[in-house]
Amino acid sequence: MPTRRAVTGRSREPRARFAEELRSLRAARGDSLRQLGERLGWDWSLFGKMEKGETVGGPEVVEALDQYYETPGLLLALWELAISDQTQFKERYRRYMALEAEATSLWHFAVSIVPGLLQTPGYARELLAAGGLRGDTLDQQVEARTGRRELLAGEAAPQFRTILSEAVLRSPLRDAGEWRQQLEYLREAGERDGVTVQVAPFSVGLHALTNTDVMFLRLTEGRVVAYAENGYRGELIEETSPVEQLQRAYDSVRDLALTPAESRKFILRLLEEVPCDPST
């Protein structure tokens, strides 16, 4: 029986580490995904999704893999770490939402999508559907997403600033009418007291936030926390030093962005390019 390897590896992210180990073990055996499925009695596509990190599977299939690869307990341990990491992620996001609700001001940078606080129902629906949501779950998530806009309503609303990469405004919805509504909502939001919308055009070139969405929250005691997000995961950052580093990056992008007035004109020009509904 092979010596059990330590639970370490190239990736420091548990879910990616688990997927990486699955790929490595299968490659060492020389099995195709179909062959693996036939030998273990599971649909081979499940193993493909596990190796891509799209799912972590269940304990039964992981135990079967441990037995097949003669790695007693290794994969199950990695699986438990991956599951724990997902739970921790959800807890961190729930904590972020609680902090967002009590923040006195928020400032944000968007890489490719409209921030949730400014999404229209049509935009939220297409975005969430693209992520695989359907039916009642989709309806509930759209309602929850657009309900967050209430945070910016009323006399006690926090100050909010967002800087939108031009890529956000160059990624239209399939429905031109819904896209027009989203652009109009952004333009109108930028005219509200307490809301500032700026555009960082492509001409600013590469910068420190090129691949990172980030939201800063100033809390009632004056402390600032950040929530940084990419296409695969998000991270709540509360330590002073990394938050300050992100703030410096944000400030440099804000200095390069169009002014709020120029940004409104930019959005208006884009609105002129969106086809009008001939029935209106």
Range of lowest pLDDT (29-38, 97-106, 132-141): 132-141
Q: Which residues fall within 8 angstroms of residue 206, CB to CB, at 6 or more apart?
A: none
Encode pLDDT of 77-99 as tens digits.
Answer: 888 777 766 666 667 777 888 89
Residue 279 lies in a domain: no
Do 63 and 123 lie in a common domain?
A: no
Containing structural domain, residue 66 = 14-84
pLDDT for 6 equals 41
Is 0.75 surpassed by the pTM of this model?
no
Across the chain, mean pLDDT equals: 87
pLDDT beyond 60 at 193: yes
As a whole number of angstroms, the distance between CA 253 and CA 273 comes to 26
Between 181 and 10, the more confident residue is 181
Mean pLDDT to the nearest integer, 209-223? 93
Q: Per the structure, how many domains does the chain have?
A: 2
The tally of CA atoms less than 13 A away on the side-chain side of residue 24 is: 12
pLDDT beyond 80 at 184: yes
Mean pLDDT to the nearest integer, 194-212? 94
pLDDT for 31 equals 93
pLDDT beyond 50 at 8: no
Range of lowest pLDDT (32-41, 191-200, 246-255): 32-41
Do 190 and 242 lie in a common domain?
A: yes
Do 56 and 135 lie in a common domain?
A: no
Range of lowest pLDDT (3-7, 14-18, 246-250, 271-275): 3-7
pLDDT for 246 equals 95
Do 44 and 166 lie in a common domain?
A: no
Mean pLDDT to the nearest integer, 6-21? 67
Helix (H, G, I), strand (E, B) or coil at 11: coil
Encode pLDDT of 20-47 as tens digits.
Answer: 999 999 999 999 999 998 888 888 888 9
pLDDT beyond 80 at 10: no
CATH (domain of 191): 3.30.870
Residue 6 lies in a domain: no
Residue 163 lies in a domain: yes
Q: Looking at the chain, how many residues does it have? A: 280
Output phi, psi for 192, to 5 deg: -80, 150
Two structure tokens written together for 97:
């939402």
pLDDT beyond 70 at 231: no
Do 112 and 34 lie in a common domain?
A: no
Mean pLDDT to the nearest integer, 121-150? 88
Q: Which residues fall within 8 angstroms of residue 2, CB to CB, at 6 or more apart?
A: 70, 71
Reported confidence tier of residue 119, pLDDT bands at 50, 70, 90:
very high
Mean pLDDT to the nearest integer, 264-279? 86
